[in-house]
Amino acid sequence: MLRVAVVGGGPSGSCAAEVLAKAGIQTWLFERKLDNAKPCGGAIPLCMVQEFDLPESIIDRKVNNMKMISPSNREVDIHLDNPAEYIGMCRREVFDAFLRNRAADLGAQLVNGLVQRIDTGKNRQGPYTLHYADYAGGGLTGELKSLEVDLIVGADGANSRVAKAMDAGDYNVAIAFQERIRLPPEEMAYYEDLAEMYVGTDVSPDFYAWVFPKYDHVAVGTGTMQKNQSLIKGLQKGIRERASNRLLHGEVIKVEAHPIPEHPRPRRVVGRMALVGDAAGYVTKSSGEGIYFAAKSGRMCAEEIVAASGHGARIPSEKDLKVYLKKWDKKYGATYKVLEILQNVFYSNDPAREAFVEMCDDKDVQRLTFDSYLYKRVVPINPWQTIKLTLLTFGAYLRGQAFAPTTYKPVPSAVRSEAEMASILAADAAKSSGLNGSDPSHPAIVVKADPKPAAESGEREPILAGKS
Ligand SMILES: Cc1cc2nc3c(=O)[nH]c(=O)nc-3n(C[C@H](O)[C@H](O)[C@H](O)COP(=O)(O)OP(=O)(O)OC[C@H]3O[C@@H](n4cnc5c(N)ncnc54)[C@H](O)[C@@H]3O)c2cc1C
């Protein structure tokens, strides 16, 4: 009987373990931290709800309004007219726990353990021995144990130890930073079913910044590519500044940061070890989307294992596992390429970002982007739409040169008059001069959390380490 270890209990690992366990294969699902709150915007496309049979209870907010905000603060509203359509906003501690527990209910053996080392056998062909710290008994260090298996699915995220053991090669990692900010009721009500995306050199030289609504707070964050990593805290300050009037009297309750893969690893299958999700490098450019692709790759990889092993009767070969890669690249290769081109074109400088936001005002562009995001399908466009889009791009790009700002200003409050804001800010400034606990550049935002990202301040494993 085939023995499979899935390392990592995020969406990719849990979805792989679910398929394997359902097929009757002996499956262990390793997760180092059962209450892990993966730093993440938590936005998921509508199709994922159906495809992965997700209950509404794990979705905090159904967003059907999106605001794109340009460097000069031009705001473009995108509304999903069909009330059944939405972007789901989740807290990862809730989302991940659901998927993990479902896999366990279906028969995967859930191990609360940190895999520390893997012996991979001759030429990495196995059998594989995982050495791990088992935290089932409580305590910080855990009990050292080992387990022998025939096959490993590496679903252990951007700092993957499985990738290291199989010599999968490195990838560049972008860095993303996020603060969870609790808002007063008026400001929170504005974000009820609305998410905001900000672009500009002040918030990211190569990506976008976001304000995403969650259950009782908003997640405010930004990301940038590896080469600009040193700028990340300044960029986070940039998004806070730009959105400051909408985050009035916000309380920072959690600070988070994590690497995001910029492209797939050179080798994703070696021997009988296969990588999925972030460990493989499946986050898209432009949107920074990785949850759906993690879950989907976990599922596709596991389906291939089930098929090649005859439901666990035989041990699949490296060649068998590589069929998963072939199918994956065929299905999504073009999507990754297109989104990479879009990021390079539209996020490269402020005139291009102005053009990008202007183009989002067009109904065809909205339908195209939302259909491909929400349903993960390629939307065919007719010749007239192609001509229109091309002209639109050129026109918007030229106009963007004129609109690009030399300095960045905060967007106005969405729920208070200018006079009301001015008097509140003046009162705050007077009160907070010299007061501990306030961000000096934003008297209106109070930092209650440790200002260092969570794992930097003492979790079991450093998350800002980049490649490990
Ligand atoms: C700030 C930020 C915002 C993002 N926003 C979005 C968004 O809004 N929408 C979206 O689709 N994507 C977003 N992403 C990307 C998304 O978070 C990832 O693509 C997704 O989490 C990948 O899932 P995964 O299961 O592959 O890996 P992960 O979610 O990273 O899960 C890996 C799991 O493995 C565990 N683990 C790691 N090492 C070990 C070990 N040695 N032993 C045992 N367990 C281990 C970890 O604890 C973790 O639970 C964002 C990323 C960041 C950093």
Contact 180, 328 (CB under 8 A): no
pLDDT > 70 in the chain, percent? 93
**Predicted pLDDT at 430:** 86
Same domain, 185 and 246: yes
The Cα 342–Cα 344 span in angstroms is: 5
For atom 50 of ligand 1, the residue with the nearest CA is 40
The Cα 176–Cα 130 span in angstroms is: 30
Q: Which of 122-131, 320-329, 381-390, 449-458 has the lowest mean pLDDT?
A: 449-458
Has residue 85 been placed in a domain? Answer: no
Is residue 32 within 6 Å of ligand 1 at its C-beta?
Answer: yes
Which CATH number does the domain housing residue 102 bear?
Answer: 3.50.50.60
Is pLDDT at 186 greater than 60 in this prediction? yes
Same domain, 99 and 239: no
**Predicted pLDDT at 457:** 36
Same domain, 102 and 244: no
Q: Which of 103-107, 400-404, 456-460 has the lowest mean pLDDT?
A: 456-460
For atom 29 of ligand 1, the residue with the nearest CA is 10
**Predicted pLDDT at 437:** 52
The pick from 131, 135, 156 for probing ligand 1's pocket by mutation, whose C-beta has the most ligand atoms within 8 angstroms, reads: 156
CA–centroid distance, residue 63 to ligand 1 (Å): 22
Has residue 362 been placed in a domain? Answer: no
Tell which residue, 354, 302, 264, has the closest CA to residue 108: 302
What are the backbone dihedrals phi and psi of residue 40, each rounded to the nearest 5 degrees, phi first?
A: -170, 145
Nearest atom, ligand 1, residue 278 CA: 26
Question: Helices 291-308 and 318-346, interaxial angle, to 10°?
Answer: 160
Which CATH number does the domain housing residue 249 bear?
Answer: 3.30.9
- C-alpha angle 256/257/258, rounded to 5°? 135
Has residue 428 been placed in a domain? Answer: yes
Same domain, 257 and 278: no
Is residue 224 within 6 Å of ligand 1 at its C-beta?
Answer: no
What's the average model confidence in pLDDT over 139-168? 96
**Predicted pLDDT at 435:** 54
Contact 416, 423 (CB under 8 A): no
Q: Is 272 exposed, middle or buried (0-12, 13-18, 19+ CB in 10 A)?
A: buried
For atom 51 of ligand 1, the residue with the nearest CA is 40
CA–centroid distance, residue 368 to ligand 1 (Å): 27
CA–centroid distance, residue 27 to ligand 1 (Å): 21
Query: pLDDT-derived band of residue 395, with 50, 70 and 90 as boundaries?
Result: confident
Same domain, 102 and 153: yes
The pick from 46, 109, 204, 291 for probing ligand 1's pocket by mutation, whose C-beta has the most ligand atoms within 8 angstroms, reads: 291
Same domain, 293 and 434: no
Same domain, 449 and 307: no
**Predicted pLDDT at 465:** 33
Nearest atom, ligand 1, residue 290 CA: 19
Is pLDDT at 367 greater than 90 in this prediction? no
- Give the domain extent around 178: 173-261+416-457
Same domain, 166 and 303: yes
Cβ-defined contacts of 383-388 (< 8 Å, 24+): 388/362, 388/364
Is pLDDT at 401 greater than 80 in this prediction? no
Query: pLDDT-derived band of residue 434, with 50, 70 and 90 as boundaries?
Result: low
CA–centroid distance, residue 288 to ligand 1 (Å): 12
CA–centroid distance, residue 384 to ligand 1 (Å): 41
Distance of CA 442 to the CA centre of its chain: 27
CA–centroid distance, residue 463 to ligand 1 (Å): 11
Distance of CA 438 to the CA centre of its chain: 29
**Predicted pLDDT at 203:** 98
The residues, any chain, with a CB within 8 Å of residue 206's CB and separated by 6 or more, are 224, 225, 228, 343, 347, 348
Q: Is 141 exposed, middle or buried (0-12, 13-18, 19+ CB in 10 A)?
A: exposed
Is pLDDT at 2 greater than 50 in this prediction? yes
Domain boundary among 336, 366, 388: 336
**Predicted pLDDT at 444:** 65
What's the average model confidence in pLDDT over 119-129? 94
Has residue 463 been placed in a domain? Answer: no
What's the average model confidence in pLDDT over 154-178? 97
**Predicted pLDDT at 346:** 85
Same domain, 165 and 230: no
CA–centroid distance, residue 407 to ligand 1 (Å): 35
Same domain, 178 and 162: no
**Predicted pLDDT at 415:** 96
What's the average model confidence in pLDDT over 255-267? 96
What are the backbone dihedrals phi and psi of residue 123, each rounded to the nearest 5 degrees, phi first?
A: 50, 30
The pick from 7, 14, 35, 40 for probing ligand 1's pocket by mutation, whose C-beta has the most ligand atoms within 8 angstroms, reads: 40
Is residue 290 within 6 Å of ligand 1 at its C-beta?
Answer: yes
What's the average model confidence in pLDDT over 357-366? 89
Has residue 396 been placed in a domain? Answer: no
For atom 10 of ligand 1, the residue with the nearest CA is 289
Distance of CA 227 to the CA centre of its chain: 19
The Cα 432–Cα 425 span in angstroms is: 10
Same domain, 197 and 215: yes
Nearest atom, ligand 1, residue 178 CA: 1
Is pLDDT at 443 greater than 70 in this prediction? no
CA–centroid distance, residue 10 to ligand 1 (Å): 6
Has residue 401 been placed in a domain? Answer: no
Total domains in the chain come to: 2
Q: Which of 365-369, 430-434, 443-447 has the lowest mean pLDDT?
A: 443-447
What integer best gives the mean pLDDT of the chain?
Answer: 91
Has residue 434 been placed in a domain? Answer: yes
**Predicted pLDDT at 379:** 67
CA–centroid distance, residue 249 to ligand 1 (Å): 30
Is residue 217 within 6 Å of ligand 1 at its C-beta?
Answer: no
For atom 9 of ligand 1, the residue with the nearest CA is 43
CA–centroid distance, residue 285 to ligand 1 (Å): 16
Is pLDDT at 48 greater than 90 in this prediction? yes
**Predicted pLDDT at 462:** 35
Has residue 62 been placed in a domain? Answer: no
Is residue 45 within 6 Å of ligand 1 at its C-beta?
Answer: no
Helix (H, G, I), strand (E, B) or coil at 105: helix
Domain boundary among 336, 362, 394: 336
Stated length of the chain: 468
Predicted TM-score (pTM) of the model is 0.93
Domain boundary among 299, 316, 336: 336
Is pLDDT at 404 greater than 90 in this prediction? no
What's the average model confidence in pLDDT over 39-56? 97
Query: pLDDT-derived band of residue 399, with 50, 70 and 90 as boundaries?
Result: confident
Neighbours of 168 (CB within 10 A): 24
Specify the DSSP element, H or E, that contains 158: none
Expressed in angstroms, the distance from the first to the final Cα of the chain is: 33
Nearest atom, ligand 1, residue 279 CA: 26
Same domain, 143 and 290: yes
**Predicted pLDDT at 198:** 98
**Predicted pLDDT at 348:** 86
What's the average model confidence in pLDDT over 397-420? 88
Is pLDDT at 455 greater than 70 in this prediction? no
pLDDT > 90 in the chain, percent? 75
How many helices and strands, by DSSP H and E, does the chain display?
13, 20
What's the average model confidence in pLDDT over 95-124? 97
Is residue 88 within 6 Å of ligand 1 at its C-beta?
Answer: no
Is residue 260 within 6 Å of ligand 1 at its C-beta?
Answer: yes
What single letter denotes the amino acid at residue 107?
A: G
The pick from 6, 36, 38 for probing ligand 1's pocket by mutation, whose C-beta has the most ligand atoms within 8 angstroms, reads: 38
Is pLDDT at 427 greater than 60 in this prediction? yes
Structure tokens at 300: 């596709």
